[in-house]
Chains A and B, each alone.
Chain A
């Protein structure tokens, strides 16, 4: 497989301020969404993640329909990570304090099921993988091990920074991690915290100093910037036909950006393809259900938007 998408898989329940909720628990989690962002464009991608035995309840139909390669998925616990999200009126979200987690040690299991560098390496060694995605914190030991795997297996690395690590006091650790990173993804709130900056422009100036080839700087409903050390391109959000649930849009767009970067697309295409994938994600609760059915419209939309933005 050309792409290894590693990290947490989750089962999401979502609540909005108007009382709307997801009708059931839906497939989710950073790696699952990022995987979908890659699968919009190619079938050559593999999920490398640890799950609970109840994974099959939520994922089996989707796995079968999309011919998902299961060889990177290990069952380690009884239960997947179950996440309960609430969306606020300003578009941000957080853990839903009203939801009752059915197990008090769920946070420990979140850590227990995290994908390790060694587990990534099992699927990249001698496999000529083009790119790897991971949402991760700044743990020094983790990045040292991952760097060793990357140097051995020669893939490009997309790092989606985890929000608790996006603070200025961790900048040294962020820069250490970036020694192993080629392409980066961060949202506005995270960037504001990381750089102690207010405006998007201030954030972009700091982002351009980072030692990565390209950053997907996601600014919520508005859209995203594709940022390199020498250019910044704003791509407005794209809409297809409906907007139901934004959960996972950031992860999905990040997966797509990884694909576009590794395939050699320019900064404009990286941003547009990220937003197209995000627009496909927002149409329903949970992950894009059928990749084959959306690929053509994704390609057409990309061509249309790139052409329009190029002619501005």
Chain B
């Protein structure tokens, strides 16, 4: 039984240095990072995912340390998805490749049926990063008709020219939405500098709340009538932003479903992102002390006081 479900792909990143030596895998993936964002605020959450047989070795300790169940995690293949990031010294850029192939990644994607199997009477909502495939969304719509649950949709940007229409065709099925500035600029065909124009269009989308993430600066919580900005909140020095978008989205879902105000939703999202950025990989252990610290920081933030 879980109030918040974080559904979808998990994946690990390995970094390859100039000599071809691989790092240890850093666990992650959209659904997993979203789970960490929820977990900061509530232990009543569960991962819903198809994984590889190496899941226990890679993710087991973190899940156990954080008191989370694996009952909706299904082993379907030999290997969890992994990406290899290679740093190019010459131009300072990263390239990446899938270690086990895109086909393996697709085989491990969460199906609507998996989500429905995981829903219990006390489930308030679920997170999913997803594309605009209509067949998939029709099945999600059916699930929502049968169960009293809400959906946070983290946008996987459409590749087609009519991407905005494809988003509009399905977004009414979601209740909450999350996208970043680059995605929004491309989707609405509005330059990044014109955030206000982008926000105006987001407000017209048929969702209760949108987390509009604007990178290192912070995020907006946008409703049909308001847009509230919250600057980034550092918990400590920022080490690695990988997964911050997914993490903040999970936190925003949790916050919204718990009835928090838009100011609090944005702050809770950014606090979660701050914890996530403080190290490579996920925040290691959400103790009661950590959760209490996060709550205290939230109270300070929304009382108008700057973080310590």
- Give me the interface of A with B, judged by CB distance under 8 Å: 52-53, 75-78, 102-105, 107-114, 116, 139-142
Report yes or no: B78 in contact with A141, Cβ–Cβ below 8 A.
Answer: yes
A107 with B101, Cβ < 8 A, contacts A77-B135, A141-B75 known: yes
Interface contact A77-B78, CB-CB below 8 Å: no
Q: Chain A interface: which of B61-69, B104-112, B201-209?
A: B104-112
B134 interface residue, CB < 8 Å from A? yes
Interface residues of B in 41-66 (CB under 8 A from A): 52-53
Q: Which residues of B contact A113 (CB under 8 A)?
A: 106
The answer to whether A111 and B104 touch (CB under 8 A), given A53-B134, A76-B111, is yes
Chain B residues with CB under 8 Å of A52's CB are 135
Contact of B103 among A77, A103, A110 (CB under 8 A): A110
A-B CB contact pairs (8 Å), 8 listed? A76-B111, A77-B135, A108-B106, A110-B103, A111-B105, A116-B76, A140-B53, A141-B76
Known A107-B102, A111-B104; judge A78-B109 contact (CB<8 A): no
For B76, list chain A residues within 8 Å (CB).
116, 141-142
Contact B133 A77 (CB under 8 A): yes
Give the distance to chain B from A65, nearest Cβ to Cβ, in Å. Answer: 26
| Cβ-based interface call for B136 (8 A) | yes
CA distance A139 to B102 in the complex (A): 15
Q: How far is the CA of A141 from the CA of B77 in the complex (A)?
A: 5
B-side contacts of A116, CB under 8 Å: 76
Q: How many A-B residue pairs have CB under 8 A?
A: 64
With contacts A52-B135, A77-B133, A103-B160 taken as known, whether A108 is within 8 angstroms of B105 at the C-beta atoms is yes
Identify which of B52, B75, B108 contacts A111 (C-beta below 8 A): B108
CA distance A102 to B159 in the complex (A): 9
Instruction: Find out whether the CB atom of B107 lies under 8 angstroms from the CB atom of A112.
Output: yes
A144–B136 Cα distance when bound, in Å, is 28
Judged by a CB distance under 8 angstroms, whether B131 is at the interface is: yes
Secondary structure call for the A interface: mixed
Which residue of chain B is the closest to A116 with respect to CB atoms? B76
Q: Which residues of A contact B131 (CB under 8 A)?
A: 105
Pick the residue among A76, A105, A114, A140 that contacts B107 (CB under 8 A).
A114
Contact A77 B160 (CB under 8 A): no
For A141, the chain B residues whose CB sits under 8 A away are: 52-53, 75-78
**Bound complex: CA of A102 vs CA of B162, how far in Å?**
12
CB neighbours (8 Å) of B104 from chain A are: 111
Q: How far apart sit A112 and B234, CA to CA, in the bound complex (Å)?
A: 38
Q: In chain B, residues 88-146, which have Cβ atoms closer than 8 Å to a Cβ of chain A?
A: 101-109, 111, 131, 133-136
The contact size tier of chain B is: 20 to 34
Using CB atoms, name the residue of chain B closest to A173: B78
Chain B residue numbers with a CB within 8 Å of A103 are 159-160
Interface of B is mostly: mixed
Q: Are B106 and A110 in contact (CB under 8 A)?
A: yes
User: Are the CB atoms of A104 and B109 closer together than 8 Å?
Assistant: no
Q: Which residue of B lies closest to A101 (CB)?
A: B159
Find chain B residues with CB under 8 A from A107 CB: 101-103, 106
Inter-chain CA distance A116–B131, complex, in Å, is 22
Nearest A residue to B112 via CB reads A76
What 6 A-B pairs are tightest by C-beta distance, nearest first? A111-B106, A108-B106, A111-B107, A107-B102, A111-B103, A112-B106
In the complex the two chains form, is B135's CB within 8 Å of A75's CB?
yes
Residue pair B135, A78 in contact (C-beta under 8 Å): yes
Q: Please, how many angstroms separate the alpha-carbon atoms of A52 and B133 in the complex?
A: 10
* A54 → chain B closest CB, angstroms: 10
Which A residues lie within 8 Å of B160 (CB)? Answer: 102-103
On whether A53 and B102 interact (CB within 8 A), knowing A112-B109, A140-B53, the answer reads no
Task: Give Cα distance in the complex from A107 to B101, angstroms.
Answer: 9
Determine whether the beta carbon of A142 is less than 8 Å from that of B159: no
Q: In the complex, which residues of chain B have a beta carbon less than 8 angstroms from the beta carbon of A102?
A: 160
Which residues does chain B contribute within 8 Å of A75, judged by CB atoms? 135
Chain A residue contacts of B109, Cβ below 8 A? 108, 111-112
Who on chain A is nearest to B108 by CB? A111
Q: Is the CB of B78 within 8 A of A139?
A: yes
A109 cross-chain contacts in B, Cβ below 8 A: 106
Task: Give the interface centre of B52, B105, B107 by most chain A CB atoms within 10 Å.
Answer: B107
CB distance from B244 to the nearest CB of A (A): 23
For B52, list chain A residues within 8 Å (CB).
141
Complex Cα distance A142/B134, Å?
28
Once the chains are docked, how many angstroms separate the CA of A29 from the CA of B103? 15
In the bound assembly, the distance between CA atoms of A112 and B102 in angstroms comes to 10
Say yes or no: A78 contacts B75, CB within 8 Å. no
Cβ contacts under 8 Å, B105 to chain A: 108, 111
Q: Are B78 and A108 in contact (CB under 8 A)?
A: no
In the bound complex, residues from chain B placing their C-beta under 8 Å from that of A104 are: 159
Contact partners of A142 in chain B: CB under 8 A: 76-77
Contacts of B106 in A (CB 8 A): 105, 107-114
Closest B residue, CB atoms, query A107: B102
Q: Which residues of B contact A139 (CB under 8 A)?
A: 77-78
Q: When chains A and B are docked, how far (Å) is the Cα of A141 from the Cα of B100?
A: 14
